[in-house]
Chains A and B, each alone.
Chain A
Amino acid sequence: MSTRTLFIGMDGATFKILDDLTNTTEDKQPVMPFLSSIYEEGVRSKLLSTPNPLTPPAWVSLMTGRSPGNHGIFDFIRAEERGNDIFFTLYDSRDSKAETIWSIASRQGKRIAALNFPFTAPPQKDLNGFMVPGFIPWRHLRRNTTPSDFYDRLKVLPEFNPKELAWDFEKEKQAVSDLSDKDRENWVRYHLPRDRQWFRIAEYLLVEETPDLMAVMFDGVDKLQHQAWLFLDPSLQTGEVSEYHQRMRKLCMDYFRQLDGFIEKLINAAGPDVQVFMASDHGFTATYEIVRINAYLHKKGYLNWKLMPDTEEAARREESMFANLDWKNTTAYCRTPSSNGITIRVARNSSETGIKPEDYETFREQLIRDLEELRDPETEERIITGIFKREEIFPGPAMKDAPDLLLVLRDFGFVSIKDKEPIVEQRVEVAGTHHPDGVFFAYGPGIKQGEIIDRRNIADVGATLLYSLGLEVPSDFEGQVPESIFTEQHLAKNPVVIGAATTFQAKDEQPESMSEDEKDKLMAQLKMLGYME
């Protein structure tokens, strides 16, 4: 038996960078020669991310073939309204309301291996294969690794280092922080060994276990691009640059050269019969300004800041990545920078603060008008170029957990939620931010060569991986197999079959997770929106 399907995820990879790094000119060889050969011998397309092009919703859409309104993962941080307080915690795999391709393949007898994918912890109990979750601190890897003895197998691998491998929450905050030159350089260096750790496990599993589906995700691409966009974007590599700039550029090239080597080695280890797919959860672009959205909502009278004592603990809370507000006197706010969304506080009963359910629609329309009025004082251009109601972009049973409005800034940046002026400020230098267009590659037997197809949707990747495994695509998948990437002979022999729906059941759903009050609130909103009589 050999591995049938290999999936390599590259968090945040974009053709803006990859096209440059795979390009051969008269005076330079490509930084990524192997990927360059896949450009020639495979098929590629842009890949449209989720409405908020963010790691949690996007990877879960890829893994479930469903949109966020159906799977229910919208952000890193989940909020629970508690009367006049809001409790923030982290999303985990149990919050997803859709079955993953790992589970679908497992229950049909396929052996899978999935490494470093977010929201795969805690692991499902019915997996047939191996899973080491991503975005989990090293201290919790053992508990969340499948099968239960696999962590001990990893510990004896040469150079295995869980601290190097796993997510470090304190360090990860640096991805979107202002760093000194030295810290930024260290940040890039930190990701070289980290990706190497994941590569070694993937290679080990390919050789020792030959799972039917081998999937590994390298998230260093995203982390580098956030902090080192200035040194990566080809349009910014003009004129004279500093020695530091040259050093950073070289370090970034070392990272991508290493990644290219990992791709080549994994494909070679998988053998000549493997079908290879590669994708990113979103693309990247440059952000040049900071937009302090909660400061704007405060100015417009929608929110009030929480008065905090002058203590170290209070300062830490203020610096955290979730909003700290006077909830009783707040009607609309942004919960986290990554959400790029506005949540409207609706009172569930007369003892709670927030707007009345019957005022929701009028309130939201006024809020939209106010957000539209945030403009560049010099050009009068709108700062927020897209404002989407949640029922437009997050339809589905999980819509109630989505922000009421999703914002798209003119430079695609993430909002700031800090209590700071001015509301819109130019960055000292450009940084990287997410863009809706990610990348998709297919390569191997049965796949066409050298073609570029129209942009596909991220949910299509999950469907494609199941198809490549020889499985039916569940009828409730929103993702579709991009048949145009396969040769006619391959499709004739292996037609795409739509099969039974997924079998997901929310095992952990308890009545308390949605109180009667919350149900009433949802019903009221649905009625208001015309979804229910």
Chain B
Amino acid sequence: MVVFTKEAIEKTLVEIVEDLIQDWGIDPDDGITGTTLLVNDLDFASVDIIQLCVAIEQHYDRKIGFQDLLMKDGSYVSDLSIAQMVDFLVDRI
């Protein structure tokens, strides 16, 4: 059975995000870290978040059910940090 550590998941997520934004003309000052915010720092729109979720699901070859991350108390979250996504993935994978 493959074990996914938090560190491994974070590394994977950062690589996926870097791959995703390579043509966007965005170059975050400190690179992509746990505190990087998708909307505020990387200019993600809602459709970009959906595409990121698809890319993650493709990487892990499974549906992950991101609705529990993207929706809180009946409303869609306004932004997400890399660390929040990692914590969610640790819980789900």
Q: Identify the A interface with B (CB < 8 A).
A: 80, 82, 84-85, 87, 89-90, 92, 94, 122, 137, 139-140, 142-143, 162, 169, 313, 317, 327, 507-510, 512-513
Contacts and interface: CB of A to CB of B under 8 A. Distances in A.
Contact of A85 (B47, B51, B62, B71): B71
25 contacts: A84-B74, A85-B74, A87-B67, A89-B67, A92-B54, A94-B54, A94-B57, A122-B58, A137-B48, A137-B51, A139-B20, A139-B23, A140-B20, A143-B19, A143-B51, A169-B45, A313-B78, A327-B74, A507-B61, A508-B57, A508-B63, A510-B62, A510-B63, A512-B65, A513-B65
Nearest to B47: A169
Interface string B34-62: 00000000000101101100110110011
A390 B45 CA distance: 34
Contacts of B57: 94, 508
A512 B63 contact: yes
Contacts of B76: 317
Contacts of B71: 82, 85, 87
A89 B50 contact: yes
Nearest to B71: A87
Given A90-B47, A90-B50, A510-B62, A143 B55 contact: yes
A210 B17 CA distance: 35
A171 to B, nearest CB: 12
Interface in B14-30: 19-24
B70 interface: yes
A429 to B, nearest CB: 31
Contacts of B55: 122, 143
Given A85-B74, A122-B54, A313-B78, A80 B67 contact: yes
Contacts of B58: 122
A92 B52 CA distance: 13
A21 to B, nearest CB: 34
B36 to A, nearest CB: 17
B57 to A, nearest CB: 7
Given A122-B54, A508-B57, A143 B63 contact: no
Nearest to B78: A313
A140 B51 contact: yes
Q: Which 5 A-B pairs have the closest CB atoms?
A: A87-B67, A510-B63, A140-B51, A85-B74, A169-B47
Contacts of B51: 137, 139-140, 143
A159 B81 CA distance: 37
A513 B40 CA distance: 31
Contacts of A508: 57, 61-63
A89 B51 CA distance: 11
B89 to A, nearest CB: 15
A417 B23 CA distance: 36
B67 A143 contact: no
Nearest to B67: A87
Given A122-B58, A139-B23, A143-B20, A82 B48 contact: no
A471 to B, nearest CB: 28
B24 to A, nearest CB: 6
A90 B70 CA distance: 13
A82 B67 contact: yes
A142 B54 contact: no
Nearest to A89: B50
Given A85-B74, A87-B70, A162-B23, 14 more contacts: A89-B50, A89-B67, A122-B55, A122-B58, A137-B45, A139-B23, A139-B48, A140-B20, A140-B48, A140-B51, A143-B20, A508-B62, A509-B63, A512-B65
B58 to A, nearest CB: 6
A140 B55 CA distance: 10
B39 to A, nearest CB: 12
Contacts of A82: 67, 71
A114 B25 CA distance: 28
A312 B71 CA distance: 18
Interface string B55-93: 101100111010100110010101000000000000000
Contacts of A84: 74
A143 B20 CA distance: 7
Nearest to B92: A512
Given A87-B71, A143-B55, A513 B63 contact: yes
Nearest to B16: A143
A509 to B, nearest CB: 8
A301 to B, nearest CB: 22
